Amino acid sequence: MPLITILSSAVADQIAAGEVVERPSSVVKELVENSIDAGATVIEVSLDDGGRKLIRVSDDGSGMSAEDAPLALARHGTSKITHAADLVGVSTFGFRGEALPAIASVSQFQVDTSTSDGEGVSIRVIGGKMSPAERVTRRRGTTVAVSNLFFNIPARLKFLRSARSEWRGAVESITALALTRPGVRINVTHDGKQALTLPPVASVRSRLGAIWGGRYAEDLLDVEDVAGPIHTSGLAQRPADVGTSTRRVFLSINGRAVRDAGIARAVEAAYRSTIVAGLRPSFFLEVTVPSDSVDVNVHPAKAEVRFRDRWTIERAVETAVRRALGNFDAAASLGFRGAGFSTLSYQPPPNPGPEILQPAREFDSPLFDVESGEQYQMERTAEQSATAIVDAAPAAVIPPLFQLRRTYIAFEHEDGLVLIDQHSAHERVLYEQFMHTLESGAAPAQRLLLPLTLHLGPAEGEAFDANREYLERLGFEVEGFGGHTLIVNSVPMPHPRFDAERCLRETLDSLTGDRVAGTAAKHERLASTVACKAAIKAGEELSQGEMRSLFASLRDTTLPAHDVHGRSTIVHLTWDEVERRFGRR
């Protein structure tokens, strides 16, 4: 007797089923995908007992002819590709001709289908054994009913979870597909009860609203960006909302819902410095790439893809999300709704508006700019430097600003009152300047008339050693370092009241024991630490000029609405809200 035998096709189907059909949710996914591929505009899904008893999917798609229907149930019976070359760039969900025979081999299966209203065909398959087709009368479209999944494979049946948990998985499959095709009507019933009704809508945002509530969908930011042939669109959570609700993630590549850890990381990277490390944002993104740059044929359930040039795609997605965060509404209070940050300027409110302040001369370097260190000699008084700032008023229009509680800067905007937290805002400004300095290698510094002498403890000394190169780039120029004594000749000069010694001490203190790996991460860690320590504090009085300068610098940052800890820098109180409080509406 030969040792090697060729498996019967029934056994082969069951093995394939092991890869394609894991649980009710995978059956739901395959069937709904087929319906979408058939051009359905309405899809009805019903499940009994979480899909363990019955999964039925009906559509009004193209249907199958009496001739084609039995072929669809044969292994590798597919209408979607004929040549291996077609595999590159398939735009339908299915292409393997594997799903239906696999499902039919492990269930009691029935398909009723018709290509036009009236005459159709019905085929039953029990555990892979097909009965002859029967003629039926029905509407155009297809109904597939899958009963008693795994009835013939007790080992798999044992692994099914509770009805509740299987139902939840099925809903997840359906919602993912529903997001890729907002224009298709999808109705879902569970144990005879209507569970989910998704009318056809024009956008992903509306579909999300139908699934998770309008409020949730409204609070998401629009993402829309084109980088060469890569198009990224969709929605992403506002940084301030991250971590406040269940995390939801949806990604589609060329219309196919997939998981992709690399792209998820790219999205997270876009949020860096706007949310607390470790928090993970919700997002709903559709990425379109040239079809020959992605291979969809790498995962049995087609849940993952392979990119030819992953790096470029990840960077495009990161940039798209980053731009969306930059366009964040609160930033609009500073005058930058929509387009890029350098092109628009503050729009004064309609009557009664603030006086428009004319610039005295071209604005080139803001007050809190390390590059303009020479303007702020150590011996200058704060008042003198403030005058210099007013002289250097920005070209863009700045509204009258008021300091409240020596902590907030308030101003009037066309649709409300805006408060800026002076410390957070300055932190954001400095963070971006420091990052720029660290990355470009430029080290503007302020020479001290009297060098600082610092005695460090062993841990602080170690932190200094580990970060010396970066600290020097930021402007801390140190002469010799031995026996734990630092002689500091130059320091950065982020603002006139900057206490360099305290900043350096506090920075070394928080870097103590730090184990951040990688240059980019080190840059970020250092820039945010020094920014936090160097920024003006709450409780410091600011002159008009300083407030104006801070306002202008904040406006020039890429992410003005958030400090480096993810807190808001700007709070916007709309006139609507104010009027409601006063009972005017």
Closest separation in Å from C-beta 124 to ligand ATP: 16
**Looking at beta carbons only, is 100 or 550 nearer to Mg ion?**
100
> In sequence order, which residues have a C-beta less than 8 Å from that of residue 106 and are 6 or more positions away?
14, 17, 21, 127, 128, 149, 150, 151, 152, 153, 156
Pull the structure tokens for residue 473: 């780039």
Q: How far is the CB of 136 from ligand ATP (least distance, A)?
A: 15
Q: Which is nearer to Mg ion, 32 or 463 (CB)?
A: 32
Query: Nearest distance from residue 96's CB to ligand ATP, in Å?
Result: 4
Q: Which residue is nearest to Mg ion (CB)?
A: 94
Tell me which of Mg ion, ligand ATP, none is bound by residue 80, counting a contact when its beta carbon lies within the kind-specific cut-off of 5 to 8 angstroms. Answer: ligand ATP
| Closer residue to Mg ion (CB): 99 or 210 | 99
Shorter beta-carbon distance to Mg ion: residue 34 or 433: 34
* Residue 302, strand partner residues: none
Tell me whether residue 79 or residue 375 sits nearer to ligand ATP (CB atom): 79
Longest dimension (CA), the chain: 101
Instruction: Tell me how far, at minimum, the Cβ of 44 lies from ligand ATP, in Å.
Output: 12
- Which of the choices ligand ATP, Mg ion, none does residue 574 contact, using the CB cut-off of 5 to 8 A by kind? none
Separation in Å, CA 460 to CA 452, 457, 514, 515, 528: 16, 5, 11, 14, 18
For residue 415, the tally of other CB atoms under 10 A from its CB is 14
Of 17 and 435, nearer to ligand ATP (C-beta) is: 17
User: Least distance from C-beta 29 to Mg ion, angstroms?
Assistant: 9
Q: List binders of Mg ion among 19-78 (CB under 5 A).
A: 34
* Comparison of 302 and 562: residue with beta carbon closer to ligand ATP: 302
Cβ distance 549 to 367 under 8 Å? Answer: yes
CB of 138 to Mg ion, least distance (A): 21
The answer to the question of residue 94 lying near Mg ion (CB under 5 A) is yes
The residues with which 29 forms a beta bridge, in sequence order, are none
Residue with tokens 């590059």: 371
Candidates 21-29, 89-97, 405-413, 524-532; binding stretch for Mg ion (CB under 5 A)? 89-97
CA distances (Å), origin 103, targets 33, 57, 152, 285, 300 = 14, 13, 12, 30, 13
Among candidates 540, 156, 570, 148, which has minimal Cα distance to 334?
A: 570
Query: Distance (Å, rounded) from C-alpha 332 to C-alpha 429?
Result: 17
Q: From the list Mg ion, ligand ATP, none, pick the one residue 35 interacts with, judged by a Cβ distance below 5 to 8 Å according to partner type.
A: ligand ATP
Pairing of the two strands 446-455 and 485-491: antiparallel
Rounded to the nearest whole angstrom, what is the least distance from the CB of residue 23 to ligand ATP in the complex? 17
User: Is the Cβ of residue 94 or residue 373 nearer to ligand ATP in the bound state?
Assistant: 94
- Residue nearer to ligand ATP on the CB measure, 79 or 347: 79
DSSP string, 59-106: E-S----TTHHHHHTSTT--SS-SSGGGGTT--SS--SS-HHHHHHHT
* # residues contacting Mg ion (CB under 5 A): 3
Q: Which residues of the shown chain bind ligand ATP in the complex (CB under 6 A)?
A: 30, 34-35, 38, 59, 61-64, 72, 77-80, 94-100, 142
Least separation in angstroms between residue 63's CB and ligand ATP is 6
Distance in Å, CB of 142 to ligand ATP, minimum? 4
User: Residue 77 binds what, of ligand ATP, Mg ion, none (CB under 5 to 8 Å, by partner type)?
Assistant: ligand ATP
Task: Let me know if 26 is exposed, middle or buried by CB neighbors in 10 A (0-12, 13-18, 19+).
Answer: buried
49 binds, among ligand ATP, Mg ion, none (CB under 5 to 8 A by kind): none
- Cα dihedral 132/135/138/143 (nearest 10): 0
> Is the peptide bond prior to 354 cis by the omega test (within 30 degrees of 0)?
no
Contacts with 525 (C-beta within 8 Å, 6 or more apart), sequence order = 511, 514, 516
Residues engaged in binding Mg ion (CB under 5 A): 34, 94, 99
